Amino acid sequence: MKNFVIYINQAYKDKTAIYDLLEELKSEDHLNFYGIPSQQEILPPDIHILESDKTPKIDCVLVFGGDGTILRAKNIALRTKAPILGINIGYLGFLSETTLGELKSSLRDLLNKKYRLQERMLIQCQLRRNGSIIYKDLALNDAVACKAEMPKLIGVRIFNNRRFVFDTRCDGVIVSTPTGSTAYSLAAGGPILSPEMKAMVLSPLNPHLLTVRPMVFPSTDHILLRIHNLEAPATLQIDGVNCSPIEENDEVAITAAKQTVQFVKLSNRTFYQILRRKMHLGK
């Protein structure tokens, strides 16, 4: 490995510590570091900016931040076809593999091929209105159809492979990947899935019926959310970002994406060890 893209949480205050460490690694191991155009203003001048017509082969995407920063970096990984290594400088860092203090030894392991790659599924989300697709995107964590700023429930009819499942009034519905099963879906009472599984979790948000529960569907299925009885604005969120307003009778179609994202795995810590340490599982 030689060429690395860096992506940084712009709100992080001590960026100098990151740049000093990168400069040290660059001189010691003859590594090349690249940034993306949208972060050019916060990067030091000796870090190259990726150009669309002159993109070198990128070996890894180094993401400095928390889980939200990693989610925003998925497009870089898809564009470069390079795996993500998360360096936690955030709060929880559930998706991160290392820390800033451990980065030097972590990169040495990378250079010495002491790592493995873990593939994680994405979901393709389409917002449809009157038969036309008005918005689409890929999600690493989840797609959420939910109420916006007004405290009004929304109606959601749920279909699986064109077959009716149930209808509910609720604050919204989350459809998550196994990676996203430990995020918003978990907070809504959804189950935890191993990140290497191929499945989708549907978790209603505060349904107004005791009988409505989270459900797990195979990754080969097609999920459709049809929104109705809107009394106030609703919105579509992809990986925690409001992407598009939802109107009456809009449909949110969700399937497993053909693309996947790879994560660098350096340690022998299991998924369940991480759950116990960071989520306090069983304590």
* Identity at 206, one-letter amino acid code: N
- Do the beta carbons of residue 190 and residue 183 sit within 8 Å? no
Under DSSP, is residue 161 helix (H, G, I), strand (E, B) or coil? coil
Q: Does residue 67 have an active-site annotation?
A: yes
Cβ contact 193:180 at 8 Å? no
For helices 103-111 and 15-29, the axis angle rounded to 10 degrees is 30
**Could you give the CA distance from residue 281 to residue 275 in angstroms, rounded to a whole number?**
6
DSSP, collapsed to helix, strand or coil, labels residue 130 as coil
Residues near 113 by beta carbon (within 8 Å), at least 6 away in sequence: none
Report the distance separating Cα 107 and Cα 85, nearest Å: 10
d(CA 79, CA 86): 17
- Tokens 């990128």 appear where? 58
Q: Could you give the 3-state DSSP secondary structure of residue 269?
A: coil
The 3-class SS string of 184-217 reads HHHHCCCCCCCCCCCEEEEEEECCCCCCCCCEEE
What span, in angstroms and rounded, lies between the C-alpha atoms of 1 and 62? 12
Residue of 46, 53, 59, 67 with catalytic role: 67
What are phi and psi for residue 268, nearest 5 degrees?
A: -95, 10
Catalogue the active-site residues: 67
